[in-house]
């Protein structure tokens, strides 16, 4: 353990000690051990004092090897929840974290999840390690859910699917693949994007830049800017796209715009990289929410897709997802899968089993699968309902003539309000509405009963805070 030597004089009351002239030795006071010398100069670089009748003491103080590590800033999303929990105001709202809540603003466990877990208990299934690539039944139904069970990609075995640690872990695994096998390749990320995307590529050592996406003037999509930036990217770049329900804006391209985006990507020999975190949870339809991915795959493009079941099955804490790589041949898919496994082994060895079996049971059982689709429609429907009520409240209360229709044009659990940081701070400090500082709110954390209160806070912050 490293230590620091401190010189102290006997002028301090605690250092006034009686001992013989020319005394040498060690003395223990409390938890400290002192080296002492009287009347002579101690030949020690740390001991500079020299006088008859004075005591010079060297104090050994333990210093941590981790002194150079600074305090990390709080996570911009998870930190919102921490602040919310400390607030005692009864009107407080947590619209920061993207987690579904009931109308009573309570966490919700899907009925199909409970049934799937009961099946696991009834079967007495064990907790043995999974293979590195994860549960085979999970990987099968996951790829089929994303691309469609009858898709030629599936039949031709051209999709390499590896179970990952939810969407985050799946993105990280893909980033490691890019760093190792596409050295120097750049990833283009939308501006703005989910707060963790940049962290993932930074930590993987993958260079990235942004393409225009959000237009603050219209609170809509900057489609022309997006196309120009994708065209300007170096050939062979990875273009990170949100498959549906763009986070944080809730703004998605139209089907026609998706086709134009695919045209440019194909022309520039880029590689599409989809992040699909809300399949079925955005519109209530699994097929509709996967249409962007399927349209790109139908062109014969090789692409990457990271998936998450946190939202659509409410499996937030199970950390269940997958990385899919669509290849031009089954041989290439086999090789890619082998390298994904090689990358996963030193990261986390193998993924967890509980969530994977829930997904396999739900998606693989026709009865549970149909029940799941109904529950997703109910969740998506509740979010659409509060979105409409919020819009109605804003339109009725705001007499300025401002057009709030962008709220209805957005989709999914988030709404980008257009509020800046100062206005978002006012939402929290004055109105106890907790949200991210970029103006994003999670409608999944809003109840119909709180829509008017939220509308009041937004109108006040928008008009009275600059």
Q: Residue 52 and residue 143: Cα distance in Å, rounded?
A: 85
Active-site option among 258, 275, 357, 450: 275
Q: Which residues, listed in sequence order, are joined to residue 211 by a DSSP beta bridge? A: 190
Residue ranges of the chain with per-residue pLDDT less than 70? 1-60
Q: Residue 14 and residue 30: Cα distance in Å, rounded?
A: 11
Residues 6+ apart with CB under 8 A from 351: 130, 134, 163, 164, 165, 169, 319, 320, 344
Active-site annotation holds for 224: no
Q: Residue 327 and residue 300: Cα distance in Å, rounded?
A: 9
Per-residue pLDDT tens digits for 203-212: 999 999 999 9
**Residue 280 zone, left/alpha/beta (φ > 0; ψ -120 to 50; rest):** left
Could you count the other beta carbons within 10 Å of the beta carbon of residue 127? Answer: 8
**Residue 40 C-beta-side C-alpha neighbours within 13 Å:** 11
Q: Which residues, listed in sequence order, are joined to residue 190 by a DSSP beta bridge? A: 211
Residue-range domain boundaries for the chain: 3-62, 78-108+378-464, 129-364
Q: Residue 45 and residue 4: Cα distance in Å, rounded?
A: 12
Q: Residue 408 and residue 392: Cα distance in Å, rounded?
A: 10
Active-site option among 186, 311, 357, 450: 311
The token duo for 447 is 């109840």
Q: What are the start-end ranges of the E strands in 357-438?
A: 414-416, 433-434
- The residue to which tokens 């007499």 are assigned: 399
Q: Which residues, listed in sequence order, are joined to residue 34 by a DSSP beta bridge? A: 27, 59
Comparing 78-108+378-464 with 129-364, is the CATH topology the same? no
DSSP annotation of 269 reads T
Among candidates 103, 191, 93, 134, which has minimal Cα distance to 324?
Answer: 134
The pLDDT value given to residue 40:
45
* 19 and 36 Cβ atoms separated by less than 8 Å: yes
Q: Residue 230 and residue 378: Cα distance in Å, rounded?
A: 37
Q: Residue 35 and residue 178: Cα distance in Å, rounded?
A: 58
Q: Sheet holding 159-165: strands in order across?
A: 159-165, 320-326, 303-308, 271-276, 238-242, 187-191, 208-212
Q: What angle do CA 412, 415, 420 make, to 5 degrees?
A: 155
Active-site option among 194, 372, 404, 431: 194
- DSSP for 26-70, written as a single string: EEEETTEEEEEE-SS---BTTB----TT---EEEEEE--TTTTPP
The pLDDT value given to residue 60:
63
Active-site annotation holds for 372: no
Active-site annotation holds for 194: yes
Are β-strands 320-326 and 57-62 bridged in parallel, bridged antiparallel, or unpaired? unpaired
Residues 6+ apart with CB under 8 A from 266: 299, 301
- The residue to which tokens 């509740």 are assigned: 382
The pLDDT value given to residue 55:
55
**CATH of segment(s) 78-108+378-464:** 3.90.1150.10
* 325 and 340 Cβ atoms separated by less than 8 Å: yes
The span from the first CA to the last CA of the chain, in angstroms, equals 53
Query: Torsions phi, psi of 242, nearest 5?
Result: -90, 115
CA 303 to the chain's CA centroid: 21
**CATH of segment(s) 129-364:** 3.40.640.10
């Amino acid at each position: 353990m490293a230590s620091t030597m401190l010189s102290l004089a006997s002028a301090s009351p605690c250092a006034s000690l009686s001992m013989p002239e020319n005394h040498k030795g060690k003395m223990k006071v409390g938890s400290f051990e002192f080296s002492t010398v009287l009347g002579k100069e101690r030949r020690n670089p740390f001991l500079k004092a020299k006088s008859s009748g004075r005591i010079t003491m060297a104090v050994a103080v333990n210093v941590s090897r981790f002194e150079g590590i600074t305090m990390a800033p709080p996570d911009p999303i998870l930190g919102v929840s921490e602040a919310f929990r400390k607030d005692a105001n009864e009107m407080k709202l947590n619209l920061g974290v993207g987690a579904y809540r009931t109308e009573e603003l309570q966490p919700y466990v899907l009925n199909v999840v409970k049934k799937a877990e009961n099946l696991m208990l009834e079967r007495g299934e064990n907790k043995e390690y999974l293979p590195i690539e994860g549960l085979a039944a999970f990987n099968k139904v996951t790829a089929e859910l994303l691309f469609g069970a009858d898709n030629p990609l599936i039949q031709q075995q051209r999709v390499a699917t590896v179970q990952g640690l939810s969407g985050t872990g799946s993105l990280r695994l893909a980033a490691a693949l890019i760093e190792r096998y596409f050295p120097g390749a750049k990833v283009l990320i939308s501006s703005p994007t989910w707060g963790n995307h940049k962290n993932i590529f930074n930590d993987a050592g993958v260079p990235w830049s942004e393409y225009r996406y959000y237009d603050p003037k219209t609170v809509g999509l900057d489609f022309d800017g997006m196309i120009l930036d994708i065209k300007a990217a170096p050939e062979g770049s990875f273009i990170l796209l949100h498959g549906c329900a763009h986070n944080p804006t809730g703004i998605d391209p139209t089907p026609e715009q998706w086709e134009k985006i695919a045209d440019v990507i194909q022309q520039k020999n880029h590689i599409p990289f989809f992040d699909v975190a809300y399949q079925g949870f955005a519109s209530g339809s699994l097929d509709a929410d996967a249409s962007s991915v399927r349209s790109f795959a139908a062109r014969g493009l090789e692409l990457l897709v990271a998936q998450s079941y946190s939202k659509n099955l409410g499996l937030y804490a199970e950390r269940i997802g997958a990385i899919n790589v669509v290849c031009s041949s089954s041989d290439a898919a086999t090789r890619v899968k082998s390298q994904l496994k090689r990358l996963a082994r030193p990261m986390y060895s193998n993924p967890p089993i509980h969530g994977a079996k829930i997904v396999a049971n739900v998606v693989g059982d026709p009865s549970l699968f149909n029940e799941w689709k109904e529950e997703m429609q109910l969740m998506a429907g509740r979010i659409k309902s509060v979105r409409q009520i919020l819009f109605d409240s804003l339109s009725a209360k705001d007499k300025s003539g401002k057009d709030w229709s962008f709220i209805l044009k957005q989709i999914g659990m988030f709404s980008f309000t257009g509020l800046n940081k100062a206005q978002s701070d006012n939402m929290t400090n004055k109105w106890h509405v907790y949200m991210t500082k970029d103006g994003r709110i999670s409608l999944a954390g809003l109840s119909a009963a709180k829509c008017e209160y939220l509308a009041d806070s937004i109108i006040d912050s928008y008009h009275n805070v600059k």
